[in-house]
Structure 1
Amino acid sequence: MRVLAAMSGGVDSAVAAARAVAAGHDVVGVHLALSAKPGTLRTGARGCCTIEDSHDARRAADLLGIPFYVWDFAERFTEEVIETFVGEYAAGRTPNPCLTCNEKIKFEALLEKAMALGFDAVCTGHYARLSVVDGVPELRRSRDEGKDQSYVLASLTSEQLRHSMFPLGGSLKSEVREEAAERDLAVAKKPDSHDICFIPDGDTKSFLENKLGQTPGQLVDEETGAVLGEHTGVHGFTIGQRKGLGIDAPAPDGKPRYVLSLEPVSGTVKVGSRDRLAVTEIDAKRPIWPSEKPLDGPTECVIQVRAHGGTADAVAEFDGEHLKIQLRQELQGVAPGQAVVLYRPDEAGDLVLGSGIISATR
């Protein structure tokens, strides 16, 4: 097959490309330039998608003996990822920009261009297991549970998955680093990137305030209605947040307060005790079925609401438009805008049944 290997400049994508070459595919490497001003993205251990990373990707491609290109996706990244991120926070929701990037950039824009150029598949270094049985894709958790990325891939359509390759799904991260060292890849010991790549200093609140300005509002005790303080914008808060609330007086019981809800129109941020964060029901919109099999009646499953952690046994139903999920165990800090992913546990590795965007919780 003709395979386009998305090479971020990290160890995972380099080894994934190497495995595609070793499997006998005709491989071409590509690095995505996602910023019109690469210097504004992080560098070193905390970054991704930087000039430094493009150089690392090129060196890995040269060692593998494959052609290498840099494609400019900065404009689309800004529109699809950054502007969506800002807009969601302004609306009082909590988005996952990595999920959006996978959906809109790596497996929509990139895959579209790859198909137009005659490639059969896009190969990435994501940790997830993928198989196609009788033309139907099956996306599962990776062998390395700590690195599993099936959550941020669960928004991909079956057609996108049919043209995707995840060579690392059956490996542990330690094994990937060992293989990189054996192949003399310079990125073998390169630290993993983390946090949000387009926020240079990691200060999400300041980034959003710079984009949205200040929209003052009140911090209100949910139970009593008492005004506890003021803030400069609901975009500076997320459901479940405990630190940085700007409340001077302690709660009557002496326990910490948490953000319970956000009201962008009135500018009200409601806070309260931790036990009021408990969620037992979730509604979700925009359902996606990677294996083209919508739920048929009440379905026992395990749901996940964050990239790492936040899982619970549940019963999910699909009414033809929305997902209705009843949790068997309470979850806390679940926010509208987050993705919820449904899994079916099995011996082969939990199968992704579907995903949706959380619209309401109770």
Structure 2
Amino acid sequence: MKMKVVVAMSGGVDSSVAAALLREQGYEVIGVTMRLQPSDCSEGCYSRDVAADAKKIAQKLDIPHQVFDFTDVFARDVITDFCREYSLGRTPNPCIRCNHYIKFGALLKQAQELGVNMVATGHYARIEKENGSGRYLLKKGADHLKDQSYMLCMLTQEQLGHSLFTVGDLTKEEVRHTAERLGLPISDKAESHEICFIPNNDYPKFLVEYTGITALPGPIIDRRGNVIGEHRGIASYTIGQRKGLGIASREPLYVTAIDPEKNTITVGGKSEVYATELIASDLNWISIERLDSPINVKARIRYRHREAAATVTPAGTGEAMVEFREPQMAITPGQAVVFYDGDIVLGGGLIARTGREVLS
């Protein structure tokens, strides 16, 4: 009997090639498009075009295609959290939560209810099972330029054990060539780099419309507390931001701190954006069961950030201190910090505090 697998299909080249390769490998493939927003939405993760494109690919591959409605759980676990984090002065990464709660959470659960125990996506990452420990290892994709292991840092052992990353051993160029070889009509389809549920990538407008809460202007201050400008609402700013401050200065100014309680934005020179320490919370260890003593790692503080040498030390229940050998620019609360040993993802967590806040 063929092993069944649900493939999350967006109509894009990566998920389409993943489905095609699994079918070639002998799996019984079921294509699924996830409805994450109202069906009348014209943009984003779910739209009529996305579903139609995925269905067209499924027909080309001669596999069944279904639409699973995760509108409510997506709103609860991803969008609501996104809005809450911005209200607290943090900058979240909703794609990481979507992977944990939706693609490898709700989708896997519904697949299992249908008797299917595996979920596949078009992520550029790899999974291996370690012989000695029996743990599932998450590794970078073979194409390091497209690697998405950072976005998968919160996946659990249970989730990894039921997941397939079919294109993880391929480069993007090889994926496009495979699409051409198979005659899939998406080999030159453009990629999206914006957050799927935010039209035109306009965060402030989305937050106001979704929450109904009007942005509250407030003071922009320097590190001494002097008021030097006015901000448009803290959700319009992130740590390290330089553009859009509306302040005349002899040197470029950057956002160095956001205080939601005082409704202030602090700015300073470029040197003030750098820090060497952070506290990570909500830790998820993958290659190890837990962290009992300090370890040396390469750490990444943003998706496209270059990894940097650091030491990670346990710092109380569910937290760890991360100390970088060299100062890092714009360590941003709310973003994920992911720890690597070569290609292996050791684990990750959320940046809770940084710089001077670590010592307070």
TM-score, scaled to structure 2 = 0.94
Tell me which residue corresponds to 1:226.
Answer: 226
1:95-119 CA distance string (max 9 Å, x none): 0011111111101111111122211
Please give the secondary structure, in 1, of the residue aligned with 2:187: helix
CA distance in 1, matches of 2:21, 2:125: 15
Tell me which residue corresponds to 1:41.
Answer: 43
Please give the secondary structure, in 1, of the residue aligned with 2:339: strand
Tell me which residue corresponds to 1:185.
Answer: 184
Per-residue deviation at 1:324?
A: 1.0
1:246-285 CA distance string (max 9 Å, x none): 22x21xxx21100000010110100000100111011111
Tell me which residue corresponds to 1:122.
Answer: 119
Instruction: Give the conservation status (yes or no) of the 8 Å contact 1:279–1:332.
Output: yes
310-319 or 61-70: bigger deviation: 310-319
Tell me which residue corresponds to 2:333.
Answer: 336
Per-residue deviation at 1:77?
A: 1.1
Q: 1:357 aligns with which of 334, 338, 350?
A: 350
Tell me which residue corresponds to 2:240.
Answer: 240
Instruction: Give the conservation status (yes or no) of the 8 Å contact 2:39–2:48.
Output: no
Instruction: Give the conservation status (yes or no) of the 8 Å contact 1:40–1:198.
Output: no
1:15-69 CA distance string (max 9 Å, x none): 0111111111111110001111443425xxxxx4322111111111111111110
Instruction: Give the conservation status (yes or no) of the 8 Å contact 2:203–2:235.
Output: no
Please give the secondary structure, in 2, of the residue aligned with 1:188: coil
10-19 or 76-85: bigger deviation: 76-85
CA distance in 1, matches of 2:29, 2:215: 49
Q: Does residue 315 of the first structure (1) align with residue 311 of the second (2)? A: yes
CA distance in 2, matches of 1:204, 1:307: 18
Tell me which residue corresponds to 1:105.
Answer: 102
CA distance in 2, matches of 1:28, 1:321: 38
Tell me which residue corresponds to 1:326.
Answer: 323
Instruction: Give the conservation status (yes or no) of the 8 Å contact 2:39–2:47.
Output: no
Instruction: Give the conservation status (yes or no) of the 8 Å contact 1:234–1:269.
Output: yes
Q: Gaps (5+ residues) in structure 1? A: 43-47
312-321 or 50-59: bigger deviation: 312-321
Instruction: Give the conservation status (yes or no) of the 8 Å contact 2:42–2:48.
Output: no
Tell me which residue corresponds to 1:165.
Answer: 164
Tell me which residue corresponds to 1:280.
Answer: 276
CA distance in 2, matches of 1:38, 1:318: 47
CA distance in 2, matches of 1:133, 1:167: 19
1:266-325 CA distance string (max 9 Å, x none): 101000001001110111111101234222311111001111114210111224521111
CA distance in 1, matches of 2:63, 2:91: 40
Tell me which residue corresponds to 1:64.
Answer: 61
CA distance in 2, matches of 1:38, 1:200: 14
Instruction: Give the conservation status (yes or no) of the 8 Å contact 1:20–1:167.
Output: yes
Cα distance change on mapping 1:332 and 1:207 into 2, 3 Å: same
CA distance in 1, matches of 2:12, 2:165: 15
Letter in 2 for 1:113: Q
Instruction: Give the conservation status (yes or no) of the 8 Å contact 2:332–2:351.
Output: yes
CA distance in 1, matches of 2:347, 2:21: 28
Q: How many residues align?
A: 348
CA distance in 2, matches of 1:313, 1:133: 25
Q: 1:298 aligns with which of 294, 300, 313?
A: 294
1:322-359 CA distance string (max 9 Å, x none): 111110121111111110000001xxxx1000111111
Q: Gaps (5+ residues) in structure 2? A: 356-360
Tell me which residue corresponds to 1:45.
Answer: none
Tell me which residue corresponds to 2:358.
Answer: none
CA distance in 1, matches of 2:66, 2:221: 53
Q: Does residue 12 of the first structure (1) align with residue 14 of the second (2)? A: yes
1:110-161 CA distance string (max 9 Å, x none): 1111122211210000000111234420101111111100000011001100
Q: Does residue 24 of the first structure (1) align with residue 20 of the second (2)? A: no
Letter in 2 for 1:203: D
Please give the secondary structure, in 2, of the residue aligned with 1:84: helix
Instruction: Give the conservation status (yes or no) of the 8 Å contact 2:39–2:46.
Output: no
Please give the secondary structure, in 2, of the residue aligned with 1:343: strand
Please give the secondary structure, in 1, of the residue aligned with 2:308: strand
Correspondences of 1:79-94 after superposition (within 5 Å): 79-94=76-91
Letter in 2 for 1:232: R
Per-residue deviation at 1:245?
A: 1.1
CA distance in 1, matches of 2:286, 2:300: 16
User: What is the identity percentage for the equivalent residue pairs of Structure 1 and Structure 2?
Assistant: 43
CA distance in 2, matches of 1:201, 1:148: 25
Please give the secondary structure, in 1, of the residue aligned with 2:22: helix
